[in-house]
Amino acid sequence: MTFPDIGADPFEVTWQTKSLARGQPLMEHYKITADGRLLKEDAEYEHVPEEERPRYDEEIDGFEDEFERLAGSWRKRHQGWSDTEYHGVFEFHKTIDDEYVSLDAKFTDGRLVTITRND
């Protein structure tokens, strides 16, 4: 399978999609393996104690405002990868050198079969 010409190394790009979200879009991570399987990152999130957050001010023993308090309040713990056994098509995209690039990935029975450019 060939990857469409996008003017960059597609394996060095962090792509985005909202096509895989179930309900509310989340900041989940996916990857396609060398053998064409779509994997989803398994992760747990834990609450970060206030004094460990990046904007905690030791001089005032707290935060300047509520926004500062929320920054860094959750920590993600990677738990591995799960095969999604995805079947269907999803769109993914990125702006590369000021050009919007949109691609479709087609999976059949859990395996990537084509990637095409949306022009």
Per-residue pLDDT of 70-104, as tens digits, reads 999 999 999 999 999 999 999 999 999 999 999 99
Which secondary structure element, helix H or strand E, spans residue 68, and what is its range?
helix 66-70
Instruction: Identify the band that residue 28 occupies on the pLDDT scale cut at 50, 70 and 90.
Output: confident
Look up the pTM and report it. Answer: 0.76
Structure-block tokens of residue 106: 């087609």
For the chain, give the mean pLDDT: 91
Instruction: Identify the band that residue 22 occupies on the pLDDT scale cut at 50, 70 and 90.
Output: low
| Residue 111 is assigned to a structural domain of this protein | yes
| Residue 37 is assigned to a structural domain of this protein | no
User: Between the CA atoms of 54, 95, 25 and 22, what dihedral angle is there, to the nearest 10 degrees?
Assistant: -140
62 and 79 together in one domain = yes
Task: Report the amino acid identity of residue 62.
Answer: G
Domain range spanning residue 95? 1-20+86-119
